[in-house]
Amino acid sequence: MGEGLYTSDELDSVPEIALRFSRGCGNPTGFAQLQPGEVVVDLGCGGGIDIVLAVGHVGSGGRVIGVDLTPEMIEGAAQTVREAGVSDQVDLVVGDMEKLDLPDASADVVISNCVINLCADKDAVYREAYRILRPGGRIAISDIVLTASIPPQIRDRFRATWAGCLGGAIEEGDYFHTVEEAGFTELEVLTRHTLDPDGLRAMAGCPGDEFTPALAEEDVAAADGKVASIKYTAFKA
């Protein structure tokens, strides 16, 4: 994973284990405009690919905090940052994005790569992101949304395998309403890419075939043209 989302230089700069764990739909460090000395929180950090890239942007005076719900992913991220030689600048936390164990106003930037769509309570995630950001802080998010309604029976089948990146996806308007209700302003969608059938199969298959069975072809056809990956930024006033 990672091809087409990251530059060849970026892929060459991270350990192989991070690439094996990568299941993202974007590259938030590529548009977060990270600055030297900033504190970055990566929600749903997975194997740590975006952590390593973020460290490269914030430099020796910055810090990156990776949060993931599963100890297995945090273990993978720990190996990644060790192999990349950036452990001294990284904190890794097993935690719930809906209730972060991080101080108020402690971060400059929150990034996330195709993970918030998996959360049942997206309102809580964005309230927490807002809480931990300093005034003037920002979010840079890649995620999956619906761009049109999908028949209820198909939505139910997607939700039956929630770990797949279609199970928790909601309609784009509802998604951005959640972001704005949390208090964020200046929301700007940088890209919106509609998934083709191959993209739908790939997203629905996260985090792997052993967890999520393949989509039925009639479900692929019904969702074709109605699911998109988005990249956007927004700010805390």
Please tell me the predicted confidence (pLDDT) of residue 18. Answer: 74
pLDDT mean over 167-195: 95
Lowest average pLDDT, out of 40-49, 138-147, 161-170, goes to: 161-170
Joined together, the tokens standing for residue 55 give 């460290």
Joined tokens for residue 84: 């990349």
Are 22 and 46 a contacting pair, CB within 8 Å?
Answer: yes
Predicted pLDDT at 167: 75
Distance from C-alpha of 133 to C-alpha of 106, rounded to nearest angstrom? 6
Whether the pLDDT of residue 163 is over 60: the answer is: no
Q: Which amino acid is at 155?
A: R
Model's pTM, two decimal places?
0.90
For domain 8-144+170-192+230-236, give the fold. Answer: Rossmann fold (3.40.50)
How many Å apart are CA 168 and CA 202, to the nearest integer? 15
The per-residue pLDDT for range 75-121, each reduced to its tens digit, is: 999 999 999 999 999 999 999 999 999 999 999 999 999 999 989 89
Q: Does pLDDT of 218 surpass 90? A: no
* Sequence spans of domains, the chain: 8-144+170-192+230-236
Closest-CA residue to 183 (of 234, 231, 109): 234
8 A C-beta contact, residue 77 and residue 52: no
